[in-house]
Structure 1
Amino acid sequence: MLGIKGLLRMLLRPPTRSIGTKLFLIFFCLVCFSVATIGLLSYNIAKTAMIDQMQMSSQQTISLASEKLDMKQQFYLDLSSQLMKNSSFEEQIFQISNASLSEEEHLRRIEEIRGLLDQLALSDSRIRDITLFPLEDQIDPISTQREGVESSKESLWIKEIQQAGGEVIWLSIQEDGYLGSSPKPLYAYGKLLGKNNMGSRDFVLLVQIEATVLQEMIDAVKLSDGAETAIYDSLGKRVLTNKVDTVDSNFVVSHAEGSRGYEIRRNTVGEEELIAYQNSLISGWTLVGKAPLQELTGAIKTIQLITYSAIALSVILTIIIGLWLVMMIGKPLGVLQLLMRQAASGNLKGRLSVRGKDEIGQVALAFNQMVEQIGHLVEGTRLTVEEVASSSHRIANVADQTANSAQEIHLASEQIAMGAQGLANQAETGNGRVEQMADRLNEVQSLQMRMTSTALDVNSVCVEGGDTVNRLIHRTTETEGHFRNMNQRVNGLKDSAQSIYELLQLMTDMAKQTKVLSLNASIEASRSGVAGAGFRVIADEIRGLAERSNSSIVHVGELTESIQGEVTSTVSAMTLALPFFQEMIGDVHAVHDLFENVQGQMNQLISRLSDVTGSIKHLDETQQMLNYSMSEVSAVSQQSSAASEQVASLCAAQLSIGDNLVELSETLKQVSMKLEHQMQSFQV
């Protein structure tokens, strides 16, 4: 095992320089954090669970005590209900307000009421007295207490009961009671009897109860040794407590009757208290239990002490186990470090003892194997150094020969470079001329393309002209046919006009005969006298009709003659125009032949231009090949020149390398001597 000083020296190293320190810190922090986290978490969970359990237990205790208090108060309230349901009491209440009663009868009825009150008061020894205060009649209070009944109708508690309108009002504890003659503290409840519930005149019923009833109940409730149990009224004022040395303070809770709950508050001195409360359904008072949280959580302090002790013990055990791990790992690493330093100084004889098959044993075995391999390498290196020394002499001789050969190659490469440069210059000149010829060919090709384009345009125009002439010939032929057809129709119209004229002649004759007949009829009518008067009228009408028909026939005849003259003129004009159209058709055919001839000539021109284009393209391809060949010659010349220059440069570099090689061979010889001297320092 390492000594204490070595262990402390290892632990005091920075974690970045000591794996033992790093391992110890990691193990210590991890275990301490885990134990502390689990312990504190368990403590907090146990504390929360115990506080919750105590809160629920305290609430149940207060709830049971509050229910017991409600039962007791309900018993006292039932007394007033029994009294109100008593028919004798109800009758006496009505009668004592009757002014017509005699004094003797009035006293008798008061005694009967007092007797009923005495019966109720005897039902519980804690009932101090029951008193009935008239509010409207000039009657003394009726009470089970025969003497010392002192109270004014202007008392605050009477006004409070009166304002309640028949609801029960619970009154806090008074040291000498509400009638002022009690030797013991009393609390009471009051209720208004009268118009609202009995139909009689108004009375205040006051039932006084000894405060020991409440005191015994709260004394029986004990949440802890230092706990306080108190009763608060509906306004939050304290009515009674089992600890007289506590400061009187208000307690505000929910105004809803029957509400209950628990909470943790700080008291006036800053200490935490567990408070459980329940609001009474009967009186509206609140029963409150207050217990110092420190008393309730005494067991939690024990759990806390055990938790801290377990954490401290875990820290101590962690330190012991961590130191054991550091010592178990530190010794082999310390020995390994010592042997590594010896190996660095040249001593390779040290070995680690392998005692186990764990990672440290594997490291020791690997170290021993490494040292063995290094020893073999050192032996081999010694032999290699000797071989390097002998080889350096041979390299020096070869370097001298290489330098001489490089000098001769350098001179030859310079001559080759000069010849290649001249060839490149001539190739550049030929390439320029070829480029000029290419420019001329491009110009010729451009002119030929424009000529071809023009010929194609002319050919297109000829084709369009031929098509136009064909359409013109077709339309002219159709026009000639139309003229011939029109001539025939005009001739037919002429014949029709002649027929109409002949028909008009016939109608003229018929009109003349009709006129003659009308004249004959008129003559015959004249001969007949009066009997022929009607026939004469008809004859006159026929004669008038004949005259109008004759006038119309003459007019139609004139129109027919005019149409016949126009038709004759039209026939003459068409006869003269027909030869002109025939001549025009011939001229159009001649123009069409001319267009076809021009189109044929243009087709031949386009064909020959296509041949010329092919020749120019062939010539251009030949020129491009020539240009490419000249470029290749120029490029090859430049490459030859560059290669020659590069060879010359390489030869110069080789010459320089040869010189450097000679220098390096000398340096290698010196290095081999130093290496041989250093190899002697190793002990294998």
Structure 2
Amino acid sequence: MKLSVAKKLFLGFLSVLLLFGLVAGLSNYELGNVNRNYQSLIDDNVSEVMLVKTLKAELMNEAGGIRGYLLTGDSTYLSDYESSRKRMEHHINKLNELAGNKKEKELAQELGVLHNRYQSIIDKEIKFKLEENNAYMSLVETSDKQISQDFNKKADELVKFYESQLNAGINETVSGVKFSQTITLIISITAVIAAMLIAYFISRIISRPINLAAGAIDKVAGGDLSQTSIKVKNRDEIGVFILSLNKMVQDLRSLVSQVRSTSEQVASSSEQLAASADESSLASEQVAAISQKNALGTEQQLYRFREVSSSIKEIASGMQQISSSSELMLEAAEKADFLTKQGTNSVDNVVRQMNEINTTVGSAAQHIYTLESRSKEISNIVELITNIAEQTNLLALNAAIEAARAGEHGRGFSVVADEVRKLAEGSKQSAIQIQQMIGLIQEETKHAVLAMEKGNEQVRDGLEDTMEASAAFDEIAHSMGDVTYKVEEVSSSVEELTALTTQIIDVMSNVQDISEKNAAASQETSAATEEQLATMEEVSSSAGSLAKLSEELQELVSRFKL
């Protein structure tokens, strides 16, 4: 699957955000579980324990009311008894409704049965009191007292049962908290490691080919075209850029090699042209001297003219070859200039992509900062839970103090308060551990932010290298412009030399005709020879210019190492 650089970065940072979002969601979920379990223990067990304690207190109120009535006969005590009795029945019914398992229901029903038996005995005592029968006193000392003791024992048994359930719930909650802490820590460490690996691989995928390309472009800018092609596995924009760079270097190497070969041919031809021009000048001088001294030397002059004509034809042939090579050089230079512009456009595209990468990395870093802020909010929530646990602990301590003041009747409530205090202390410790874990997450988030900032810095370095590559391409384009200009000058000079050579051939043909028609016209031949000499001097001058241009072209080409 072909993915662009921007998509790779987006998928990498999206994976990091999802991992840290999973950690944050799991932490929030586990905190909710701890709070729900804690609230369930308070609602289900502590409230039931308090209800049983209330039953014992109401039983004491009933006993106090009936004994007051039996001792004093005051109906006010009887009214207090009736009120306590109604409340007692209401609490027993509520206890039966709250009973969640079989044993709770059995104990609640047994309390109801004992209370009914107690009410039957109380009714008998009231009846004996109204009949002024002292038998109620024996009932108070025997059945009344025994049933009260049985009721309290059964109530204590139910309280112990609720306390055992409370302890089991506490242990289960603590185990759940420890398990959640372990899972959250493992996932957090895994998320941090995964984020670091993703950041490392993304930075390596981007920076390695860019560094290779920058090194290759530096060598090209220095004139070294002997390097091998860069091999990368990227199939994105960077991979396309590397392939274009390899093709540009190969085409530039071929172009420079062709220009070098052509310049050598031009130099060789210019040297031959200069030598031929010198020979022609010397021959013309000799012919002029001979024609002035002796008309009889016409045959020899004619022979010389034929040699000169042959040389001029060779020069013309060489000039045609030079003209053809110059056209090839001009085409090659124009092709090199086109490839250089194409490479410059590719570098500009890479610069634009690197700017988009820089923007994407900055956006991902901003998301990580937001995640760090959410972690701080979770830390504040945990701190709030710690404060609630401390307040619960303080309330439990106050309740234990009040229970101690109540004496024997508050002993059971003191046990419950102590258990509540332990639960609050355990919640506080769990909150502290969660707080530490959140701190660890925040610390690792900072490491992830640093890793992303490092990746961002590497992207900026890659952008700087790409800008340097763009400058190198500009320099290459400037150099190719100079080469094209020099080649155009060579081509123009060759055209001038070709025209001059044609003129020389025409002149030599005329001179030869004149020499063959009339040997006596030596003075006219001498004049034609002088004209030829002047033409040869022009040819020699043009050959010198061509040789100079060839040297300049070779000097430019020598900057490149093939």
More relative contact order, 1 or 2 (CA 8 Å, 6+ apart):
2
Q: Identify the structure with the greater helix proportion.
A: 2
Q: TM-score scaled by structure 1?
A: 0.24
Q: TM-score scaled by structure 2?
A: 0.28
Q: Identify the structure with the greater strand proportion.
A: 1
